[in-house]
Structure 1
Amino acid sequence: MMLAKLTVWYNTRCPVCDAGIDWQRNKLLALVRAGTIEFRDINEQPDALAQFGATLDDIRRRLHATDEAGGLIVGADVAIALWRLTPGEGWLAALFGNRAALPFTRFVYDRFADLLFAWNKRSGRW
């Protein structure tokens, strides 16, 4: 199976985000080494997704990714894309990314992301 390139943008200043991506990256090490998946810190290139209208705060609030075709993926859909690629986690993508569950998954992800974003702002992690 040929995998398309995925570039995931995240906030390394958020300790929860940084730890989560580090954990995921380690599980996807072979794909990272092959260049199939790339994880990038938005704080190093704050305008990287400006062509999509995504601000630095948008990316600090929710995961963003670009695919090989140049499309933008946001929030829970990024997590689902990563689960699909992660050995042993395809069942998470099937469970939370199916047509019936996806609206609920997105809602829960967005509320958690909002809380985490507010916590990081209050803690001065900018």
Structure 2
Amino acid sequence: MAPTPRSPATVYYNSACPVCDAGICALRERLAADKELQWVDVHQHPEVLGALGLELEAVRERLHVADGDGRMQVGADAVASALRRVPRWGWLSAPLRWWRVRRLTDLAYNAFARRLYRWNRAQGHW
């Protein structure tokens, strides 16, 4: 019996944040021909979040990735999940999830995301 093909993961990102948009553009360029990730810009399509039970502000603040099995990854876990699929960048995902550095990675991501979110709001990006 042939293995069942996995569904691609879906990245939920906010293009209204210039920092977030630049990061996503870099990932998309590296994955242009790859169907491993689907991309949903919540700034352009906020209506998709209701069916997922997600709040728009939560996705604006932290990256979200639904893996091929439908499990939602948020924040540093989402970054690691996306990086794992990028040719020549995939190795970067492992150190982000090592148990000894995971807590530090999560704290750093959350602190940066919180500040970036506040900056974007103050700049009127949304």
Which category describes the TM-score, using the shorter chain as reference length?
0.7 to 0.9
User: Secondary structure at 2:70's aligned position in 1?
Assistant: coil
**What RMSD in Å do the two structures reach over aligned CA positions?**
1.6
* Structure 2 partner of 1:106: 106
CA distance in 1, matches of 2:87, 2:70: 25
* Structure 2 partner of 1:22: 25
Report the number of matched residues: 122
1:34-53 to 2 correspondences below 5 Å: 35-53=35-53
Unaligned 5+ segments in structure 2 are none
1:1-126 to 2 correspondences below 5 Å: 4-31=7-34, 35-126=35-126
1:50 Cα deviation after fit: 3.0
Deviations 1:16-53 (A, max 9, x none): 1111100111111221xxx3211111022214233454
Residue identity (%): 37
| Aligned amino acid, residue 100 of structure 2 | A
User: Secondary structure at 1:18's aligned position in 2?
Assistant: helix
| Aligned amino acid, residue 13 of structure 1 | A
Question: For the structure 1 residues 110 and 88, does the alpha-carbon distance in structure 2 shift closer, same or farther, using more than 3 Å as the test?
Answer: same
| Aligned amino acid, residue 77 of structure 1 | D
TM-score with structure 2 setting the length? 0.87
User: Secondary structure at 1:13's aligned position in 2?
Assistant: coil
User: Secondary structure at 1:85's aligned position in 2?
Assistant: coil
1:58 Cα deviation after fit: 0.3
Deviations 1:64-88 (A, max 9, x none): 1112222211111111012211111
| Aligned amino acid, residue 54 of structure 2 | A
